[in-house]
Structure 1
Amino acid sequence: MKDFGYDISNYTAIDPIFGTMDDFDSLIRGIHDRGMKLVMDFVPNHSSDEHEWFNKSVNQEDPYTDYYVWNDGVIDSNGTRHPPNNWVSEFRGSAWEWNEGRQQYYYHEFLKEQPDLNYRSEELRKEMENVLTFWLEKGVDGFRMDALMYLLEVEDVTLDEPVDPDSGTDDPDDPDSLVHIYTTNQPGTFQVLHSWRQLIDQYDEKMLMAEVYSDVNDVMRYYGNDTYPLADFPFNFFLIENLLNRTDVTGYALKDIVDLWMDNMPAGKWPNWVLGNHDNGRIASRLGEDLVDALNMFDLLLPGTPVTYYGEELGMENTFVSWEETVDPEGCRWGPEHYQEHSRDPERTPMQWDSTSMAGFTTFNSTWLPVNPNYLEVNAARQESAEVSHLKIYNALAKLRQEEVFVKGVIAFPVITKEIFSFTRSLAHGDMYLVVLNTAEEEVEINLHHHSNFPLPDTATVVLRSLHDDSPETEIGSELSLDDVAMVEGGGLVLQLP
């Protein structure tokens, strides 16, 4: 738990702080009984330094000797030993740690307690295939492959990575200071991923998602192709990476990000849309509470798979976490003056289930991170019982996306301006819907019929609208003239066209 479970000491066991294997078996039965599926977070790049494999590798017990990436380092003219290269950990500082027991350095892309596994070892690769098989036999429905682009490093680990002249930093301990040509997206990574795809495909209807932060060309490589299949999809993080604050959200920006994915995606593949995750601030705090419903309309009604971070369906917000309460290693390493710039704790606070103590997250008297004080107003139980709420809108969108027009319908973009983003979903001979978002922080009036780049009818029926839109003209079920649409700030509308 140096990095909240991303430092695994046993790949086929449940950490006792979460329960037992019987609890897991009960969980997966309950999920399947409800017609749901369970996708596990698989962490293949590194283990904990407390893993039995690492201890045996330190002692050079075969076959574990080469399960990790070891190197003697280099000795300078003064006789001082140094790491073999300039590689920098994602959590700052050298990515190499000296081990007294083995008298060598080991490589760690993340914390020193997270030594990288060596996928150039055939025995290690077999071990990880056995791990996947273990959980597939348990009945899991797929895997999110964590930090996949770091899986392999270049074979010659004495090579320095080049300094990035455009990074904006001269701090040698900052990972952004280097261009990571030797530690990311190596050819062997795709070979390993392909072998996992082949293994998973021996089971029915299993899913494989890849977590990859990289440029679009590298990200698209993780799809593979028909003859060399890899992930069902790599996560589309470009919405997160390009929408850092409210001023970044425009109609043009949303269209550019959609085009970036759709234009580069290999033929026949399936898109996905990620607005938030555990590494980035919550939508309401990062982009504005008024945009929550509109962006959920965007996320759930575009073609592809929507990926929703827990609590975004409620409009949960970042929580202030004091230095004393901070636990994220990425924040802790920057110290009390700068932790708020780097800590991911504010978006990781407990799910707000109800208005009871600890927001219903636990019956204990404390939580691992503080509960947001707004839980009395923002919680699932309250929104479930309300006549209208973020959750009710989200549920309606989830139901609507099951209709054939959103499963198979083509997409078009009739009106795109600085303020307005819109798209239609339609079948050749059937339903047609128009989704309209106002990204501006003020009301916008627009003649959609006039500004559209293809014919639209004069009117449409309102199916859904944002929570804060209380205009009589946009009441659910009302007929709206497309010649004069008043969009509230940050508002969204789902319209059915005749």
Structure 2
Amino acid sequence: MAFIDPYVADDKATAADPDWWRGAVIYQIYPRSYQDSNGDGIGDLSGIIHRLPHVASLGVDAIWISPFFTSPMLDFGYDVSNYRDVDPMFGSLGDFDALVSRAHELGIKVMIDLVLSHTSDQHPWFQESRSSRDNPKADWYVWADAKPDGTPPNNWLSIFGGSAWEWDGQRMQYYMHNFLTQQPDLNFHNADVRRELLDVTRFWLDRGVDGFRLDTVNFYYCDEKLRDNPALRPEEVNDKTAPSVNPYNFQDHLYDKSRPENLEFLKAFRAVLDEYGAATSVGEVGDGQRGSEIQAAYTSGGDKIHMAYDFDLLSNTFPTGTHVAQVMETAEKGASDSWPCWAYSNHDVVRHTSRWNLSPEAHRVYTALLLSLRGTACLYQGEELGLTEAYVPFEDLQDPYGKRFWPKFKGRDGCRTPIPWNSDRINGGFSDGHPWLPVAMEHVAQAADTQDASDGSMLNFYRDMISFRKGHPALLKGEFKVFEARDDYISFERRHGNVRLFCAFNLSDEPCGVTLPEGTWTIEHDAPFTAAETVADGDTKLPAWQALFATA
């Protein structure tokens, strides 16, 4: 008898659906920490291939792979020195092609992380640009003269601390960097830069990728006049984009990012993707004041990027029912045809189960809430295991961001530690070598093999909830309307065609009453939650940390 892979998708019709991304579930893989295949302590592309059956078993639609391009790795791949090759620590282009092929066999689409706003200072483009003021790439980066007293051209700040300007003694000018000094910003006002980056996009599309996550998508352009950013009033300061210890938060970033010229580039980018039929894109919007507005502007009209996310649900603000309702209301007001992408965790923030101090029961109900909102959902590797933020001592710290602001801000390493696969293997089965970041011992007890065998595990809950979502078109693409919201409770209706789906979430450790909208409702008992009491006269009771789904 021939072996039949249980994870291979049997619905080939979805492969060509240009609208597949709408309502999809995307699983983010941080390759350094997913699976090491060669014993060097660093995850790689071959390791991802080995673990793709785990991804397929979740039922997700796509993976987003964080950068694996050639890089000096000062910002762990977000400082690219060659956009068209794989860094040897991760493998080769052949390994990437094999990954795409295997993912597609399993019915998983592949999205990769494009870092277009800046490069490494080791990139040949920058090496040529800094060599003189009149070379062919002299204007490929943002250069400016010093003020008469030698200080930087303006008051712009780097997210990683200090001025956004670095003096270059070779060219005798300052260059702009929104992040590390070794990450100079490209000059998007230069048409040659834009054309080259669109060619990079085509290179990966030609290799079979299904889409892109666009790093810092609102940072592409800066003000040509290099005007100073104004200060924010104290009551306007927030930590959505940078940790609270960072003075970057004190400015209203009107001129160093989120410029109106970006819309035209995003239209050109979308035109390239449309050449390939079903390719998609999701942009990361980092803006503490206007994130939702930018998100809507970038995804409306059907001629720019497909979807975007800001940091409303990735911030430290606890997601009470009231807060979630406000976030959704703001998103819905932005533009009727825009499309958001929602996530609680990723490689840049403290894992949400620690950030919000969630119990396993609370983690489950908040997962159900995420997977019920209008938009596409992003899951970050390890959250399906219920992983907490790992403690990484200073001597093991790798993240330059954490080293700069330690100890008030410990950086991003705590959410990047290796995934535990096997409870009885060294390093949780991640690597036979010394891991680049320590494996958290408390995570090993939550290893995937242990949870896979337990019906009541967090892993199997994620599988069940994603399956439930995929079985209800109203959750994938339906309209959204809040019915009731308070701090410990939220309910809303999703509508698709003639089907109405009522969703209610008890966000507390006490039972609560639920009032359903007018109509005849049937509780969806296939949802992965304790069934609520039978609906009587439109009212029912919902146990602590439980969700209710009902159709009419």
TM-score, scaled to structure 1:
0.87
Deviation, 1:104, is 1.3
User: Cα RMSD (Å) of the superposition?
Assistant: 2.5
Deviation, 1:206, is 0.3
1:92 to 161, 166, 169: 161
Contact 2:345–2:352 (CA under 8 A) maintained in structure 1: yes
Matched with 1:329 is 400
After TM superposition, list the pairs within 5 Å mapping 1:339-350 onto structure 2: 339-340=409-410, 343-350=411-418
Matched with 2:21 is none
Q: Deviations over 1:436-487 (max 9, x none)?
A: 32212x22232x2xx3453464x73533345xxxxxxx369x9677745242
Q: Secondary structure at the match of 1:113?
A: coil
Q: Secondary structure at the match of 1:53?
A: helix
Matched with 2:546 is 492
| Counterpart residue identity of residue 184, structure 1 | K
Matched with 1:231 is 305
- Cα distance in 1, alignment partners of residues 306 and 301 from structure 2: 10
Contact 2:166–2:181 (CA under 8 A) maintained in structure 1: yes
- Cα distance in 2, alignment partners of residues 236 and 293 from structure 1: 23
Does 1:443 find its partner at 2:507? no
1:306 to 369, 377, 385: 377
Contact 1:252–1:416 (CA under 8 A) maintained in structure 2: yes
- Cα distance in 2, alignment partners of residues 103 and 257 from structure 1: 46
After TM superposition, list the pairs within 5 Å mapping 1:169-184 onto structure 2: 174-184=247-257
2:105 to 18, 22, 33: 33
Contact 1:460–1:496 (CA under 8 A) maintained in structure 2: yes
| Counterpart residue identity of residue 250, structure 1 | T
Gaps of 5+ in 2: 1-72, 239-243
Q: Which has the higher contact order (CA 8 A, sep 6+)?
A: 2
Q: Secondary structure at the match of 1:423?
A: strand
| Counterpart residue identity of residue 463, structure 1 | D
Matched with 1:107 is 176
After TM superposition, list the pairs within 5 Å mapping 1:134-173 onto structure 2: 134-157=203-226, 159-166=227-234
Deviation, 1:152, is 1.1
User: Whose radius of gyration is greater, 1 or 2?
Assistant: 1
| Counterpart residue identity of residue 193, structure 1 | L
Q: Secondary structure at the match of 2:384?
A: coil
1:387 to 420, 431, 455: 455
Contact 1:414–1:454 (CA under 8 A) maintained in structure 2: no
Q: Secondary structure at the match of 2:371?
A: helix
- Cα distance in 1, alignment partners of residues 177 and 157 from structure 2: 9
1:351 to 415, 419, 422: 419
Matched with 1:45 is 117
Does 1:460 find its partner at 2:523? yes
Deviation, 1:118, is 0.9
- Cα distance in 1, alignment partners of residues 180 and 420 from structure 2: 30
Deviation, 1:125, is 1.6
2:189 to 120, 126, 143: 120
2:148 to 67, 72, 75: 75
Q: Secondary structure at the match of 2:186?
A: coil
| Counterpart residue identity of residue 123, structure 2 | H
Quickly say closer, same or farther: Cα 1:189–1:383, change in 2 above 3 A: same
Quickly say closer, same or farther: Cα 1:236–1:92, change in 2 above 3 A: closer
Does 1:378 find its partner at 2:446? yes
- Cα distance in 2, alignment partners of residues 484 and 51 from structure 1: 62
Quickly say closer, same or farther: Cα 1:205–1:73, change in 2 above 3 A: same
Gaps of 5+ in 1: 467-473
| Counterpart residue identity of residue 485, structure 1 | K
| Counterpart residue identity of residue 394, structure 1 | Y
Contact 2:371–2:466 (CA under 8 A) maintained in structure 1: yes
Quickly say closer, same or farther: Cα 1:413–1:54, change in 2 above 3 A: closer
Matched with 1:471 is none
- Cα distance in 2, alignment partners of residues 188 and 201 from structure 1: 21
Q: Secondary structure at the match of 2:396?
A: coil
Contact 1:249–1:439 (CA under 8 A) maintained in structure 2: no
Quickly say closer, same or farther: Cα 1:461–1:194, change in 2 above 3 A: closer
